Structure 1
Amino acid sequence: MELPKDPMMLFSVVNMKLRDFYPSLDALCEDLHVSKDDIVSRLKEAGFEYNPEQNKFW
């Protein structure tokens, strides 16, 4: 799956998928064959951090 390039769209899509389909960021990345480091880095640049207890970026 190709994730959005725009950081706000990426934030929205990843959080929706985490909320509705995946118990963790690791599970999402493994299933979608995407780099966890890439997602975390791109969202960190936009000011977001992953909270594993809440399973979402904020």
Structure 2
Amino acid sequence: MNLPLDPMMLLSVVNMNLRDRYPSLAEFCAAENVDQADLKKRLAAIDYYYEADSNQFR
């Protein structure tokens, strides 16, 4: 998956996929061939962190 470079667009795309298609971040990253640590780092840069309970970045 080609993820957007813009952090806010990235947040939107990832959260939409987590909401609609994947029950966890790990499954999203595995299915879409996305480096989980890199994704978390990119979103942490704009103060968004993954919450497993809600399965989204907040």
Q: TM-score, normalised by structure 2?
A: 0.98
| Alignment-derived partner of residue 3 in structure 1 | 3
Q: CA RMSD in A?
A: 0.4
Q: Distance in 2 between matches of 1:18 and 1:11?
A: 10
Counterpart check, 1:26 vs 2:23: no
AA at the equivalent of 1:16: M
Paired residue for 1:45?
45
CA distance in structure 1 between the partners assigned to 2:49 and 2:32 by the alignment = 20
Structure 1 residue runs of 4 or more that deviate by more than 6 Å after TM superposition: none
How far the C-alpha of 1:24 sits from its partner, in A, is: 0.2
Between the two proteins, the alignment pairs up a number of residues equal to 58
Any unmatched runs of 5+ in structure 1? none
Letter in 2 for 1:11: L
For structure 2, the 5+ residue unaligned runs are none
Shift of 1:40: 0.2
Q: TM-score, normalised by structure 1?
A: 0.98
